[in-house]
Amino acid sequence: MSNVVNEEARYRGPALFSMGFRPFFLSAALFAGVAIPVWIMMLAGVGTEQLLYPPRVWHIHEMVFGFLPAVIMGFMLTAIPNWTDRPPIRGIELAGLWSLWLAGRLAIAVPGVASSVAAIVDCAFLIAAAGLIWREIAAVKSWRHAPMGVLVSLYALGNILFHVMTLSDQVADLSPRIGLGVILVLLTIIGGRVVPNFTEEFFEVRGRPERPAEFAPYDKASIVLVVVSVITWMVQPWGMVTGCLFLLAGVVNAGRLIRWRGWHTWPEPLVLVLHVGYAWVAAALLLFGGSLLGVGLAPADALHALTTGAIGVMTLGVMTRASLGHTGRERHAGPLTVTIYLLAFLGALVRVFGPATGLTNHLVMGLAAVSWSGAYLLFAFSYGPILLRPSLDE
């Protein structure tokens, strides 16, 4: 982290484009805070005629290939300098990459843009992002980080496939699975690094004797199981084997979480939230596996344990910590930050389990949207000034 902060301290351009997490985390939060209420309006039949795709298709695409890529690149562009020991992507290059992301959102939403043009503009961002990641990895031959380049490249391919299938009047069901599968693998890999690392740091600072388990063959097995489950999901989305693999992956990853001893981190929500986010990963694997076997929740509700639960909570945990740590501020979750976590958690809880309570669909969707999108709007409100101003280390 110190390398990143020192690099930012030497930067003399606009603060927003000094590090990748700044424009992408802020934009992702604002987009999530607006896109979900827009989706709820669409469900009510308001404003559906001006979008490139039908409401449900638009919602799937913009959350999987619009919102999430911004969060991923905010994290990747901040982590890459530590992986490669090279200067971060910033200034004009960062502003250009961010502009590609914004152009994709506008091209799909603004009336009058030709469908083929909108698709090309939208696809350009993830293609450029994958190219930048590969460039940085190749520059120092840091091939142990090649899986990150492979995953983002697959992500870009999934987005291309989504547009090709949809614009050809075919059902684009494979491409969202590719996108969500990539995210699930990323959560398992990256979460398996940052959660125990930050937990160990917490224990050391507090002088506690506990330590999370070190990375071991058990962790490798948990990642492999997720990868195999995702690949099987690509081929047999509704198969019994797929369901059993997801269940097994869920059990193993729940055990992985226990090995990190996260219950001792309750005094610092900034660390505890990462354990809660990974608990959602394990829960998503278990719930989705059960749904494929006809047990428990409906598949769509179980899948939202991944999207609203694991992704929602984990991304906000990473976004808040990175925004504080990389701008020279104390890494501590105050009342507003804790409120962000609670809103995201409650929104996910309502969206995943609300339909099974017998409440009307519109009520469940509305309550979940207000809570979940409210978490991201509160992040933008409370962390926006931090992301727009220079680091305190300057």
Q: What is the CATH number of the domain that holds 373?
A: 1.20.210.10
Is the distance from CB of 348 to CB of 280 less than 8 angstroms? yes
What are the tens digits of pLDDT across the range 277-290?
999 999 999 999 99
Is the distance from CB of 50 to CB of 113 less than 8 angstroms? no
What are the tens digits of pLDDT across the range 186-218?
999 999 999 999 999 999 999 999 999 999 999
- Domain interval for residue 82: 2-388
The single-letter DSSP state of residue 367 is H
| pLDDT category of residue 49 using cuts at 50, 70 and 90 | low
| pLDDT category of residue 14 using cuts at 50, 70 and 90 | confident
The beta strand positions in 301-389, using DSSP E, are none
What are the tens digits of pLDDT across the range 302-358?
999 999 999 999 999 999 999 999 999 999 999 999 999 999 999 999 999 999 988
394: in domain: no
| pLDDT category of residue 171 using cuts at 50, 70 and 90 | confident
| pLDDT category of residue 362 using cuts at 50, 70 and 90 | confident
Coil/strand/helix, residue 267 = coil
Is the distance from CB of 66 to CB of 35 less than 8 angstroms? yes
- Looking at the 3D structure of the chain, how many domains does it have? 1
* pLDDT at position 360: 87
* pLDDT at position 361: 85
What are the tens digits of pLDDT across the range 240-280?
999 999 999 999 999 999 999 999 999 999 999 999 999 99
* pLDDT at position 349: 97
| Token pair 């091209």 in the structure block, residue | 107
CA distance 74 to 85: 17
CA distance 339 to 265: 18
State what percent of residues in the chain have pLDDT above 90. Answer: 84
Coil/strand/helix, residue 309 = helix
393: in domain: no
Q: Record the tokens describing residue 2, joined without a space.
A: 């110190």
CA atoms within 13 A on the CB side of 274: 28
CA distance 56 to 34: 16
What are the tens digits of pLDDT across the range 128-137?
999 999 999 9
Q: Is the pLDDT of residue 1 over 50?
A: no
Range of weakest confidence among 42-51, 70-79, 139-148: 42-51
193: in domain: yes
- What is the reported pTM? 0.93
287: in domain: yes
197: in domain: yes
* pLDDT at position 358: 85
CA distance 101 to 125: 5
Provide CB contacts within 8 A for 321, sequence distance 6+: 198, 270, 274, 331
Chain-wide mean pLDDT for the chain? Answer: 92
